[in-house]
Structure 1
Amino acid sequence: MYNTEEYEYEAILQRMLDRVPDDIDKRPGSIIYDSLAPAAAEFAQMYINLSAGDDLYNVDTATGEYLTEGAAEWGVNRKQATFAIRKATFLDSNGAGIDVAIGSRFFIEDLNYVVAERVSQGVYKVVSETAGVMGNAPFGSMLPVEYINDLATATLNDILVPGEDEETDDQLRERFFVEINEQPFGGNVADYRQMIRALDGVGAVRITPVWQGGGSVKATIMATGHVPPSAALIDQLQEQVDPVPFGGEGLGLAPIGHTVTLNGVNWVTININTTLTLGDTSVGQVQQDIEDVIDAYLLALRSTWEEDAPLVIRVAPLESRILTVSGVVDISETELNGSTANITLTVDQVPQRGTVTLNE
Structure 2
Amino acid sequence: MYEDKTADNIQTDLLGNITDDYDKTIGYSTYDLLKSFAIEESDIYKAISSAIDMIDVDNLTGADLEKYVYQRKGLQRKVGSFASTNLTVNGTGTVKAGALFETSAGLQFACIEDTVISGSGTIPVQALEIGSSYNTPANTITEIPATIQGIISCTNLSTVTNGYDGESDDKLRGRYYDMLRNPITSNNKYAFEAWAKEVTGVGNAKCFPTWQGANTVKVVIINSNMQIANQELIDEVQNHIDPKGVQDSNGNWSTWGTGLGEASIGSYCTVDTATGKAINISATINKDSNYTDEQIKQEITDAVNKYFAEIALDENNAYVSYARIANILFNADGIKDYSNLTINNGNSNISLSLTNDLCEIPVLGDVNLIDA
TM-score in terms of structure 1 length: 0.82
Q: CA deviation at 1:205?
A: 0.9
After superposing the two structures, state which structure 1 stretch, 198-207 or 326-335, moved more: 326-335
Distance of 1:145 and 1:286 partners within structure 2: 36
Q: Which residue of 2 aligns with 1:53?
A: 51
**8 A contact 2:322–2:348 mirrored in 1:** yes
Seen in structure 2, the aligned counterparts of structure 1 residues 122 and 207 have a Cα distance that, compared at 3 Å, is farther
After superposing the two structures, state which structure 1 stretch, 231-240 or 35-44, moved more: 231-240
SS for the counterpart of 1:158 is: coil
Q: CA deviation at 1:311?
A: 3.5
Unmatched tracts of structure 2, length 5 or more: 245-252
Q: CA deviation at 1:219?
A: 1.0
Distance of 1:32 and 1:340 partners within structure 2: 75
Q: CA deviation at 1:51?
A: 1.5
Distance of 2:122 and 2:200 partners within structure 1: 23
Seen in structure 2, the aligned counterparts of structure 1 residues 113 and 80 have a Cα distance that, compared at 3 Å, is farther
After superposing the two structures, state which structure 1 stretch, 185-194 or 128-137, moved more: 128-137
**8 A contact 2:226–2:309 mirrored in 1:** yes
Identity of aligned residues (%): 22
Matched, 1:265 2:259: no
Matched, 1:353 2:351: no
Supply the AA of the counterpart residue of 1:126. V
Distance of 2:238 and 2:77 partners within structure 1: 20
**8 A contact 2:81–2:200 mirrored in 1:** no
Q: Per-residue displacement from partner, 1:16-35 (whole Å, max 9, x unpaired)?
A: 44555543322332222112
Q: Which residue of 2 aligns with 1:115?
A: 112
Q: Which residue of 1 aligns with 2:233?
A: 233
SS for the counterpart of 1:249 is: coil
**8 A contact 1:131–1:163 mirrored in 2:** yes
Distance of 2:109 and 2:211 partners within structure 1: 43
Matched, 1:136 2:135: yes
Give the counterpart of 2:319 among 291, 302, 312: 312
SS for the counterpart of 2:112 is: strand
Seen in structure 2, the aligned counterparts of structure 1 residues 117 and 346 have a Cα distance that, compared at 3 Å, is farther
**8 A contact 1:267–1:352 mirrored in 2:** no
Q: Per-residue displacement from partner, 1:275-330 (whole Å, max 9, x unpaired)?
A: 33x26649x84564145224412431332223237742343332332233356454
Q: Which residue of 2 aligns with 1:337?
A: 344
Supply the AA of the counterpart residue of 2:328. R
Matched, 1:86 2:87: no
Distance of 2:316 and 2:141 partners within structure 1: 34
After superposing the two structures, state which structure 1 stretch, 194-203 or 22-31, moved more: 22-31
Distance of 1:15 and 1:196 partners within structure 2: 56
Seen in structure 2, the aligned counterparts of structure 1 residues 253 and 159 have a Cα distance that, compared at 3 Å, is farther
Q: Which residue of 2 aligns with 1:34?
A: 32
Matched, 1:198 2:198: yes
**8 A contact 1:206–1:306 mirrored in 2:** yes
Supply the AA of the counterpart residue of 1:266. T
After superposing the two structures, state which structure 1 stretch, 223-232 or 11-20, moved more: 11-20
Matched, 1:153 2:146: no
Unmatched tracts of structure 1, length 5 or more: none
**8 A contact 1:226–1:299 mirrored in 2:** no
Q: Which residue of 2 aligns with 1:274?
A: 283
Distance of 1:4 and 1:89 partners within structure 2: 59
- Calculate the aligned-residue CA RMSD, in Å: 3.3
Residue-pair matches, total: 348
**8 A contact 2:66–2:77 mirrored in 1:** no
Matched, 1:301 2:308: yes
Distance of 1:325 and 1:63 partners within structure 2: 31
Seen in structure 2, the aligned counterparts of structure 1 residues 307 and 313 have a Cα distance that, compared at 3 Å, is closer
Seen in structure 2, the aligned counterparts of structure 1 residues 261 and 343 have a Cα distance that, compared at 3 Å, is same
**8 A contact 1:160–1:231 mirrored in 2:** no
Distance of 1:187 and 1:345 partners within structure 2: 27
Distance of 2:56 and 2:363 partners within structure 1: 39
Q: How does 1:239-254 map to 2 (within 5 A)?
A: 239-244=239-244, 245=253, 246-254=255-263
Seen in structure 2, the aligned counterparts of structure 1 residues 85 and 14 have a Cα distance that, compared at 3 Å, is closer
Distance of 1:70 and 1:341 partners within structure 2: 44
Supply the AA of the counterpart residue of 2:368. V
Supply the AA of the counterpart residue of 2:365. R
Q: Per-residue displacement from partner, 1:33-73 (whole Å, max 9, x unpaired)?
A: 11221221121122113312332344232233222212221
Q: Which residue of 1 aligns with 2:164?
A: 163
SS for the counterpart of 1:35 is: helix
